[in-house]
Structure 1
Amino acid sequence: MVVTHRRGTAPHPIILVLCILLALAAPVTAATTELHVVRHAADGVTVLEETTVDYTWLEQNLPVQGDGRTHYYHQGPVFEGDPWNPEEDVNVIEKDMGAVKGTDLADICDLVGGMREGETVRIRAADGMSREFPYRNVYEPEPRQGPMVITWYKADEGYVPDYYSGMRLVFFADTSSNPDGLHAFGVWDMHECFDSDYWYFFQPGLPTTTGLSVQYVSDVIIYSDEEPTGSIHVNSTPSGAAVFIDDEETGDVTPCTLSGIELGSYSVRVEKEGFIPSDEEWVNVVANAVAEVEFNLIPETESGGGSSSGDGGGGGSRNGSIAITSVPMNASIYLDGNATEFRTDATLEDVPPGEHTIELVLPGYWNITRTVTVEKAECTLLDLIFENSTTGEATTKTGRIAVFSVPTNASIYLDGKDTGSRTNATLQAVPVGEHTIELVLPGYWNITRTVTVAEAERSTIDVILSPSGGKTETNTTTGNDGTAATRPTPAQKNPLEAFIATILNILTGIFPFFGTGEDLPTTPGPESTPDPGEDSATPVLTSTPMVPVPTPDDTRSVKNHSGGIYVTSHPPGMTIVVDNRRQIWQTPRIVYGLREGLHSIRVEKSESDRSGEDSSFQFETVQTWVYPDTITPVHLDGVTPSYKKTIRIDSETCRGEKFTMSGSFPAATIPDDAEIEGAKSWVTVSRDGVYHSFAIPYGIGAGRTFWIEPEDADTVPISINSNPEDAAVFIDGFPTGKCTPCRVEGLSPGQHRILVSKPGYITAEDVITIPEGARTGGAVTCTLREYIDGDLLVESTIPDARIYLYGRYTGEKTPHTFTGMSIGTYEVRVVTENDSKTIEDVLVKPGETTRCLVNLKEDNS
């Protein structure tokens, strides 16, 4: 009996569970009572205007369609005979939509700016089902179709939500095409009134109009052809400076707001007579917002003119100048009690001869006041060290750096600033701590070293410079900072150095691997061999505040200002949109000839697919950085759900430093917000040639702050090679200034993205993980895949004309050859101050150089 009882009752809980699961799986549908009405820009993402209204507002504020007595009908599928049923006498009376009232869809669209010819609107239900319709059927319906009405009242049920299938889209057709005098929108009416792209079928070959009657309408979404725009507000001190956008003069002067600018990244600079032209600032324009950029202009240095001895008979006396430096920098300078608007280090020009009072003000430090005597036509030097206002001690102690090079006479840069000294020389009074020394000599590769200065001691740097010409001398090695330093040719090395180099090459060959995204081997590999006089210990970051180091630049002699992107998508075959300009190409595709800097990239369905059913593709717009002579990979996934959240990146010791997210540019400056995605996101800080990688905890909440503080952990080198060679190398989005084959120093434990790029080849990249305690990063060897390309030579009858591709300035001027251009036709535009001309359908052929010569008018004034 017990067994029988168990057998008899066991199925009941199972049935109960199944019933519960079925109930949960059933779609939850209920009448809607309000509409979200939105008008998107041409990118399909940017919101131009939106509003939310409920049925009571619609009834009280817009014309009411329907009288509550007249019934309206649609037509279901016709299974026998002609499925189009021109007679409209089958399956019509059964599809009574009721005596309904509602609001014309056109009136609803007008709440957010309306529609225009060629645009579409999507009617979406609360359960996700939707239908899309073109402008003509919404705003210019034929009588047999009638107005498209969002109904919110049904006579036998009342208003929503009692009207259980409302809000509902119903076509208010007239009676002209129905033999029974019904207000019916039949399948033949759809055939005659709609373009075939918008016909609806119950099954293939079985048209129906009931499928167009969307129930539970919650959203009205207009896809307009209007380009989204934003604004840029430009200010300068002093004001009245001419404003340039992407190197084109706007005709405006500061302060000004430039409106109607399409979305994307633009370079902004200003010029004012008597002042040094500003550096360009990159500004990201977003829809319906104002981006701000401000410039502090520096007066030009007086040329002095004439001989310094005697007044040339004119007797006109000249003023002098005061050069002021301080430790720390960035102190406000006051001259004779008046603010100068300058900060240290700076030179005050055109100062009258005689005694003057200089006061420096820096928060957290005691003010410094000095009296100086200025002589006419001479520069007075003032070098000051602040004392901490809390401890009363000097802010820094100093040491010396002796810099030697072969050959000599190389310009010495200390922490990015020209010291005015040339090798061989000793830099005096250098603050204690880590510093970057860069040597620059025309005809030779730049070389960079990191050195640690101790109090009252001398540090030494002794390097050999390599000529920048010749393929046999293009191999580079690194200093401790990871930026490009030259590797001497075998002829330049002493026998011991040549022997060490040979051993390193052999060891590198023993541990090759192609980036797999997994942990690197922990087998000990070749150690970094220090140059003579250089400490082999890994530099240690200190808590001493430092001036922000700019993003590393490629130290090769870069003449070009443009590069490219390799755009892929999942699924492929999507149309590419660059800087909000729709291109004719589809993914995958190389787009070359883009100006160095930020670009916005997205993809969208092709024109032939846009009128189809809602797809599950959800592509986002991404911001990517283009480097000269480099192809940056851009992948957009429209299928895999994106789970992103925004966090704050901050640090006590790294404020002002650049960082990247998951190894990809563009870089941001600490502190800043950052978007993370997935379980293996990481932050990389590039500081003094060390690539510090910090894994972000997966569970960190949106809006939280992730603090990063570099530890005194050892860093390791990594050897990188490619086939073919001479490909540019990037670590975590930062350019190393090196080309394959090369060795990059300064990688911390953690994840790193390795990227190598060469024009004419598809970029290779991968993510590696360096385990804690590793003594080497191993070696990466990759094969670059060549793509079919040609060259484009753009010339003009007037030289130095600006060249435009893809509707944007490329940064290049005529004559210029764009290498690595994908095969196809291009629109080329060249612009001078007096003329501009566009050449369409310029065809780039495989393996050839296409010449585009543009005739421009000269200035006849």
Structure 2
Amino acid sequence: MVITHRRGTAPHTILFALCILLALVAPVTAATTELHVVRYAADGVTVLGEKTVDYRWLEANLPVQGDGETHYYHQGPVFVGDPWNPEEDTNVEEKDMGAVKGTNLADICDLVGGMKEGEIVRVKAIDGMSREFPYRNVYEPESRQGPMVITWYKADEGYVPDYYTGMRLVFFADTSTNPYGIHAFGVTDMRECFDPEYWYFYNGKYPTTTGLSVQSVSEVIIYSEEEATGSIRVNSTPTGAVVYIDDEETGYTTPCTLSGIEVGTHSVRVEKEGYIQPDEVWINVVANTVVEAAFNLTPETGSIAVSTIPTNASILLDGNVTGLFTDAVLEEVPVGEHMVELVLPGYRNATQKVVVEKDECTTIDLVLFSENTTPTEVTPGTGSIFISSVPTNASILIDGKETGTRTNATLDAVPAGEHTIELVMPGYRNVTRTVIVKSGESSTLEMILSPVDGKTGANASAGRDGTSTTHPTQNPLEAFIAAVLNLLATVFPFFEAEEDLPTTQGPESTPTPDEYIATSSPTGTPAPPKPTPGDVLNTKNHSGGLYIESYPPGMTIVIDNKRQVWQTPHVVYGLREGLHSIGVEETEPGRSGKDSDFHFETVQAWVYPDAITPVRLDGVAIITKKTVKIDSEDYRGAKFTVNGRYPPGTIPGEAVVDGPKSWITVSQNGTYLSYRIPNSLESGQTFIVKPWSGSTVPLRIDSSPRGAAVFIDGFPTGEVTPCRVEGLSPGQHRILVSKPGYIPAEDTITIPEGAETGGAVTCTLREYTNGNLHVESTVRDGRIYLYGRYTGEKTPHTFTGMSIGTYEVRVVTENASKTVMDVLVTPGETARCMVVLKEGNP
């Protein structure tokens, strides 16, 4: 410019330069012909619905607004007098939007699932300029505002792109508030129809509705409060297991696919009667995706002891040859009903139905009859009685008469009717039982004989009817009294009133006429006491917290892609158990006009219930990572952690390691086995975990205050301080001590080879300023949301250890939801938040 001025051609050159400058600074806008419509989940990232349409499709498929003849007006700023211009007579006709046609914004939103109360939509231009609008103004506009229309036709210009400001947002107001009877959306209409945060001001001072009329619209973006969801397909072998998600019964059995599960980590477990309950698994649900959880169920088992006279009979179980011969014990028999068949050459086959109970041994004693024995002919009006006893070889009397047979045996040709069976055996008390014999049928009696000294085993004796009862351990005085009474009972039978003994027998079972095996065997386990009024039932919580630090500090915290108001360092409590993505951002990015010198990676952090996990993000350090494979022949199926942090992987699996001192810890049978990952191991290579042959050592852990939860290498120990944790191998271990209301303590220790003990860890927990938050609702079991995310808790619930400050609390039920803003938690107090829900108004 200086050179041009010297050449004496300034007027022409300056004008030319000004034209170039104006061209450069003028906004580059052009008419748009299509819309990208998208609906995001509550995390602001997951797409719930998405569609791209052009103006031709809109005109052909959705209702058309406008007739191409009626003009619609907005109002520009009013610089003189009342800027709100209630008369609506200033700078209105000058803001003629034209005789336009278009599509209702609400209909456009419905293409991707629409909006709900409390949600907002952003109408965005191709140059990035945008305006946001709430649900009410889009779906329930007042007539003085009118429908919000994305216009794509203007009478004097035609369709876009000839309609050079289209697609354009125009408010189709009625004529009710305009003195000239025109369709004008004025500034007073805006004030009356919109909440203040949606008003638009020119230069921050003068209200105007033209500022709401977005030109060259290219995107319609809905920010919903709906959680992103995916599906979990749950299968088991065998099928028919009841499925639980996050400890709640779903009402489904395997195999099944559960839809509408919120994205994030969820615990899945199954239960099936007769099978050992497997460990729960944690599944990461991804939006609009089906993930799978599979379980191999192991049957609960007991055993069957089978004996015969004579022995050496082949044993069949449920029709299958076992390969065993009497006398023998069938091990690991699945609980439930089974049929045992005994086969011995020269003898008639014998079968008996048995019920196997978990970890119990069922006894079968049978007498096999020779094939040469002629079965007793069935005499009309008679039946038979099969009588067995423990122990066997007891003399059988019927109606007080000797039969000449001993147990186990069958009495044939017994007249129909009621009979008394008595078993007599030296050293044992006589046992008497009444049985009703039916014509042509066989009855069965199973009886237990009680020794005269009252002992049948460990603290067990039998009553007069032979039923077994487990006795509590007696003190010496009771034992002495019982012994005297038992001695007297052998001499004077009337002392046999066992209900008066210190070892009280359980309730008897009175048989009905059709019940011939009336041996009710009390287990000896007392029934749990009923809760006393005022008792507090201890239920598992599903939420915990994180202590988030950064270097440098003062960074704004981002949880699960949602920017929070808190800055590092800070305790965030009330997060759902499971995996969360944690990041930080500069509080005022770009203020210096240059790129930030700090680069923070988002990390995955595990939240434990009723505990706080430390998370540290470094914006300076350069971290190199590699993924290696973990495998082992000896520890397949075992869980392992990397560098002592949850969640665990399963061998075989992959591990993402960083730094030269990485290690994995294998949790096996209550031990914590540490293995260092060689730095020379390249990405993609396999690290083989060899069986641990050395010894393990204990570690003593204490804290001030006490009662803090203890975690070893990320694994919950179930212990609280002070405690002694067994099973640590030599090597590196990460120790976490955590208690709500206190900053957690964490450190990595190294146990040297050959050490006889892991030593002791003692830590002082620093209290942070906190209070409690109690949330309840008029409809019970409402899902509680904090930080824009479901906490895993339902109303009513009290969150302890909440950092002081204000919270946005949301409660959601099947048919209603409501958000309460600015709930204040103060130090040492419990803030109470009552959410009033109106069912039927989602």
Q: TM-score, normalised by structure 1?
A: 0.49
Structure number with greater Rg is 2
Tell me: higher relative CO, structure 1 or 2? Use CA pairs within 8 A at least 6 residues apart.
1
